[in-house]
Structure 1
Amino acid sequence: MKNKQLLLRARLFLVALVCFSTFMACSDDDDDTPSLPAPTITDFEYGKGSSHSTGQVGYKGSNLHTEAKIVAEASVKSITLTIHGHDLKIADGEVEWDFEKVFTDEKYLVKNPTFHEHIAIPANIPSGEYHITLLVTDQAGKTTESEGHLEIMEGETDTEEISYSDISIDETVVRGKDLHTEFFIDAHHGIHHIIVNIHGHDLTVGEGEEEWHFEQEFEEGYHGETEVEFHEHIDVPATAPVGEYHATFIIEDEEGHKLEFESHIEVAAAS
């Protein structure tokens, strides 16, 4: 009888030992699996500074510049941008604005994308403080967010002195060709000059290519005019890297008022 009990105990001990060894092996396997860190967001930019405020501002009826650098070792799955107001009073003719958009563009679904978008701010929303949040989700389901406050105001004073309309700017241009730009300007005090600045967004410069950054001041045909059509063709070098470029147009009148607007241009390789 004693022998049978000893044999049974030995068998139970052996089973327990096997189970414990299996558990430890599984734990070791789990420990060997690296855990990738959550995404990081740096240099989150939105709106611009203003003499009206110490913070960042946006103007009703214009575009809001947003940009951020992202690192996601598990690659980005989605980027969500939200903007909403803080208990703002809605006047007659105004509507509440609660913006949310999920970006899953192919250019963002990588490890180290630069987020860059321009968001149209409606002209009929309340002025005041808005909360802006950028949320990044990676392929492993981990999230990181960056947030801030944005003061949305009526159009800048300078826009009362200068205005533009009938914009026609190429969205895509083949390198080695010219970029067509055209818009109508109304400047009550006369145009002093127009500056055009074009630069790329973290583009890879390949073999035989050269970084392209264009900046030029235009006066001839525009200086002193109060109503004029800006119409220029800008040569894009055949060696410019392909990809997205950011174009800024600055109109300044004879009294120092300035009006600035932006556009995106895709430079493509010849087919």
Structure 2
Amino acid sequence: MRTVYVNGKYVPENEASVSIFDRAFLFADAVYEVTSVLEGKLIDFHGHMTRLERSIRELGINFTVDSDALLAIHRELISKNNITEGLVYLQVSRGAASDRDFMFPASDVEPGLVLFTQAKSLIKSAAADRGLKVASFPDQRWRRCDIKTVQLLYSSLVKNEAAKKGADDAWLVLDGKVTEGSSNNAYIVDENNTIITRELSNDILHGITRKAILQCAAELDLKVEERAFTIAEAQKAKEAFITSASSFVYPVVEIDDVKIGEGTPGPIAKRLREIYIEANLAAAI
């Protein structure tokens, strides 16, 4: 049985509880981060903490990000749960007032802090080997996708709708252009081996893995073009792929029933995945 962390205490998962008045439960008034673990060490931990701090600041949650303290909690959970490969989920809510109210609670209400681990094979991945099939859907999320909040209902809905279509995931489309995947950043590779991905804005999450992958691309002397692209352009691309903390890099081999390239994982996505894993194994803490 897992040990989890809830508001200052390490407890067995079956004994963990939060208030029914916690605003994460009532209003999705919370933010989160997911940090990968390889060989028992954390991948890009400080990048995740920097983004967490930004999300908290954007929502005005009364929580101070103490990276050293949070690092200690992450490491303790990894140790207690014997995680060699997997994920650590962290969530900060605005807290629990005495009743349900749309207005924010008083400033003296303690924010909620929850962390738990998930054991998962990240390096060996069937999805990375075979590539993903994706289906496109309208992007009907709120328009502050740059804040990593827990309001993920629409992402969950389209993932399930994609599965009904025989696809592995969804790509979201706003005003005719791809924003991102349901829980990942989206990329295509054109005939000149240029990597194309949407520019940073409120319309997409500012991915920690995205930033690292673009650095890997620079090391390979690959040109990167940050702009929006259409589903039609993606279907004609040489390659396509996604990135996230839990997938690293997954090739995309089909979009809306149209094969990308040869319909198999492309060499650029494969190489970026290899370089990313090598670099982060060396830099993990």
Give TM class, smaller chain.
under 0.3
Is the helix fraction higher in 1 or 2?
A: 2
- Greater length-normalized contact order (CA 8 Å, ≥ 6 residues apart): 2
Is the strand fraction higher in 1 or 2?
A: 1
What is the TM-score with the length of structure 2 in the denominator? 0.26
